[in-house]
């Protein structure tokens, strides 16, 4: 896949192939590459917890809010759950305001995952207390998000939105295909949009 294909294939996958594990080694490799990305003041505050143990994955998944817009879907079943979770944390002793760093590094991990035949979903609606207690995290470690990872078992298609349309809600059709609307190019580029 070329870079554009990888970017387009990198969707939010929330259903995964049952029993398709991810080797912890490959996740370590993605992190190893991602540690070279840009970081505010080059402070590099982002930290990860890698979870591949099935019961632990299930427990944390059961306490996340999946696909808020799909009212009739409560999240992946036991058979659809991700193979691994990556808890993305920041060390607040290093930088208390590191959300941009988190975005850059997690996206870099996801793009590699897609390139290697996996896929994932970023989730911020998570039970931080549960995770904090489970891993006995010290106070300076803030939990930002969880990345669910696995071999996707879901068909997802991008929809081009009309210029100036504002309905960005994703939906699932009667065949189970997940549709993700994306705004038009001209809506992204203000000097094109408001040109005199
Ligand atoms: C910061 C952030 C937080 C998100 N949190 C959740 C979440 O808690 N639960 C969820 O199911 N998806 C979550 N998502 C995934 C978005 O719903 C998804 O990116 C959006 O629907 C567009 O789909 P796409 O990623 O395939 O383009 C999150 C995405 C981002 C960037």
- Substitution candidate for ligand 1 out of 80, 123, 158, 183 with most atoms within 8 A of CB: 123
Query: Which atom of ligand 1 is least distant from the CA of 145?
Result: 3
Residues with CB under 6 A from ligand 1: 11-12, 14, 65-67, 121-125, 170, 180
What confidence score (pLDDT) does residue 165 get? 86
Q: Are 150 and 174 members of one domain?
A: no
Residue 161 sits in a domain whose CATH number is: 2.20.180.10
Q: Are 170 and 184 members of one domain?
A: yes
Q: Are 162 and 134 members of one domain?
A: no
Q: Are 7 and 33 members of one domain?
A: yes
Query: Which atom of ligand 1 is least distant from the CA of 75?
Result: 11
Q: Report which protein residue has its CA nearest ligand 1's atom 25.
A: 12
Q: How many CA atoms lie within 13 A of 112 on its CB side?
A: 16
Q: What does the alpha-carbon distance between residue 84 and residue 81 come to, in Å, rounded to a whole number?
A: 9
Residue 124 sits in a domain whose CATH number is: 3.40.109.10
Question: Tell me: the pLDDT tens digits for 11-68?
Answer: 999 999 998 999 999 999 999 999 999 999 999 999 999 999 999 999 999 999 999 9
Q: Are 135 and 169 members of one domain?
A: no
Distance (angstroms) between ligand 1 centre and the Cα of 148 equals 11
What tokens does 190 get?
Answer: 């203000």
Distance (angstroms) between ligand 1 centre and the Cα of 93 equals 28
What tokens does 117 get?
Answer: 């035949």
Q: Are 162 and 126 members of one domain?
A: no
80-116 as b/e, with b when 16 or more CB fall inside 10 Å? bbbbbbbbbbbbeebbeebeebbeebbbbbbbbbbee
Q: Are 9 and 26 members of one domain?
A: yes
Expressed as residue numbers, the domain containing 181 is 155-196
Residue 132: count of CB within 10 angstroms of its CB:
17
156-160, strands of its sheet edge to edge? 156-160, 178-182, 171-172
What tokens does 1 get?
Answer: 């896949």
Q: Report which protein residue has its CA nearest ligand 1's atom 26.
A: 11
What confidence score (pLDDT) does residue 195 get? 75
Question: Tell me: the pLDDT tens digits for 94-107?
Answer: 999 999 999 999 99
Are the C-beta atoms of residues 49 and 171 closer than 8 Å to each other?
A: no
Pairing of strands 178-182, 84-91: unpaired
Residue 113 has pLDDT above 90, yes or no: yes
Average of per-residue pLDDT across 101-126: 98
What confidence score (pLDDT) does residue 163 get? 86
Residue 89 has pLDDT above 80, yes or no: yes
Q: Are 144 and 195 members of one domain?
A: no
Question: Tell me: the pLDDT tens digits for 128-182?
Answer: 999 999 999 999 999 999 999 999 999 999 999 988 889 999 999 999 999 999 9
- Substitution candidate for ligand 1 out of 12, 104, 105, 109 with most atoms within 8 A of CB: 12
| 96 contact partners, CB below 8 Å, separation of at least 6 | none
Q: How many CA atoms lie within 13 A of 103 on its CB side?
A: 5
Residue 193 has pLDDT above 80, yes or no: no
What tokens does 116 get?
Answer: 């290697």
Question: Residue 27 is inside which H or E element, if any?
Answer: helix 24-34
Question: Tell me: the pLDDT tens digits for 66-80?
Answer: 999 999 999 999 999
What confidence score (pLDDT) does residue 10 get? 98
Query: Which atom of ligand 1 is least distant from the CA of 170?
Result: 21
- pLDDT band, very low/low/confident/very high, at 112 (cuts 50, 70, 90): very high
Question: Residue 131 is inside which H or E element, if any?
Answer: helix 128-134
Q: What does the alpha-carbon distance between residue 161 and residue 60 come to, in Å, rounded to a whole number?
A: 34
Q: Report which protein residue has its CA nearest ligand 1's atom 30.
A: 122
Q: Are 148 and 168 members of one domain?
A: no
Residue 108 has pLDDT above 80, yes or no: yes
Q: How many domains does the chain have?
A: 2
Q: Are 65 and 91 members of one domain?
A: yes
* Secondary structure (3-state) at 146: strand
Distance (angstroms) between ligand 1 centre and the Cα of 123 equals 6
Q: Are 88 and 177 members of one domain?
A: no
Q: Are 176 and 144 members of one domain?
A: no
């Amino acid at each position: 896949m070329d870079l554009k294909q990888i970017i387009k294939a990198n969707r939010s996958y929330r259903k995964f192939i049952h029993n398709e594990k991810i080797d912890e080694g490959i996740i370590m490799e993605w992190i190893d590459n991602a540690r070279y990305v840009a970081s505010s003041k080059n402070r590099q505050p982002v930290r990860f917890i890698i979870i591949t143990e099935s019961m632990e994955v299930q427990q944390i998944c059961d306490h996340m809010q999946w696909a808020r817009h799909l009212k009739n879907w409560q999240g992946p079943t036991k058979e659809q759950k991700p193979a691994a979770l990556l808890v993305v944390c920041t060390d607040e002793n290093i930088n208390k305001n590191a959300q941009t760093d988190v975005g850059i590094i997690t996206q870099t991990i996801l793009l590699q995952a897609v390139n290697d035949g996996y896929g994932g979903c970023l989730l911020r609606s998570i039970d931080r207390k549960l995770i904090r207690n489970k891993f006995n995290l010290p106070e300076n470690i803030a939990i930002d998000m969880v990345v669910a990872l696995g071999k996707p078992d879901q068909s997802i298609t991008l929809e081009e939105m009309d210029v100036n349309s504002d309905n960005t809600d994703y939906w699932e059709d009667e065949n189970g295909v997940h549709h993700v609307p994306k705004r038009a190019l001209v809506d992204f580029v203000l000097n094109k949009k408001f040109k005199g």
